[in-house]
Amino acid sequence: MLQELTDLHLKTSRLEESIVFPGPRPLPEAYGAEVRLLLHACEKMALDDFTIQLQGVTWRGRRDRHAVDGLWYRLRRMPMQAPQLESLPSPLPPMCRSMLLSPALLDGGLIYICGSAGSGKTTTASATVVSRLHQFGGVAYTIEDPPEMPLNGWHGKGYCSQTWVGGERASDWAESFRCALRSQPAATHQMLFVGEVRNADSAHAMLRAASNGFLVIATGFGSDLVSSVDALLRMAGESMVNGIANMLRLVVHQRIMASQMQSSVLASKSSSSPVAARIRAGQLVHLASDIEYQQMLAARGQHLLDN
């Protein structure tokens, strides 16, 4: 019965006051037995962010200790199958899908997918990993806290290995990056999906992976494309600006309005592109004109990542 829900907020002190979604609406009495099993599973989790499976359904969970009326568990139901770009529930524009699948990205670099909370960043990033594995093969690693999509395993001729970060400290994330770099097979297309860039240390490790031949796909927050790039640069620190300028290949900002996906895209085909030069010079305000110019070129059929 819980398969009908998208989200479930469990109030531990009075379970009958829990909230279900789509809604919001009160918890139906008929859900009581399943919800108690789910709550029991949540209470066994050691970390505040977690993933659990119950009766074939996977939930991404968050233990909320700060609500004024006591402890809550905020749960979101995860898809049963890994997403692909051509079958997203909120489709991306064809130009955006084309660039995310560009063969030019096989040489590595950074794809940064950004937006506000609930805009589908993780879904787009996961679909990019799966679709590229189907199209080009190779291997992909993920660094997530916690894993959200069922990515682990074969996808066509490519394989994905998901990693659950074993803690919340910066050193735990750094060790996960080191493991991915040490697992680098020879003469193979490689991707690294970073669930979220959290601090300067993870940004540095992410750029190191990109410079070592990985196509790094990372997510982040921002109200628009330019502010998202600015937030990434500020978090990474001044010493990382040149590295980001060198390795950034594609930024996708997305938002969902009236159930429709709206996205803006900025491409940088090499470390010597005009976009890379603007980032090095701190001229982010001019990126808005670059976005408009690239949209015009794409409308004419030009592939922005081709050399």
Q: How many domains does the chain have?
A: 2
DSSP 149: S
Residue 118 forms part of a structural domain: yes
Residue 307 forms part of a structural domain: no
Residues 25 and 160 in one domain: no
Which pLDDT tens digit goes with each residue over 195-217? Answer: 888 788 888 888 989 998 899 99
Greatest CA separation found in the chain? 62
Residue 306 forms part of a structural domain: no
Residue 184 structural domain: 85-299
Residues 61 and 97 in one domain: no
- Checking DSSP bridges between strand 215-221 and strand 190-194, what pairing results, if any? parallel
Residues 33 and 157 in one domain: no
Residues 261 and 225 in one domain: yes
Q: Which residue in 70, 63, 15, 57 sits closest to 42, CA to CA? A: 63
pLDDT for res 161: 92
Per cent of the chain over pLDDT 90 is 62
Residues 189 and 95 in one domain: yes
Which pLDDT tens digit goes with each residue over 54-70? Answer: 888 889 899 999 999 99
Which pLDDT tens digit goes with each residue over 122-158? Answer: 999 999 999 999 999 999 999 887 788 889 999 999 9
Residues 160 and 223 in one domain: yes
Residues 66 and 94 in one domain: no
**Of 35, 56, 77, which residue is a domain's last?**
77
**Of 77, 95, 110, which residue is a domain's last?**
77
DSSP 273: S
**Of 17, 49, 77, which residue is a domain's last?**
77
pLDDT for res 73: 98
Residues 136 and 59 in one domain: no
CA distance 40 to 252: 39
pTM, full prediction: 0.85
Amino acid at 65: R
Residues 24 and 126 in one domain: no
Which pLDDT tens digit goes with each residue over 62-116? Answer: 999 999 999 999 999 988 888 999 988 888 888 899 999 999 999 999 999 999 8
Residues 170 and 65 in one domain: no
Residues 132 and 188 in one domain: yes
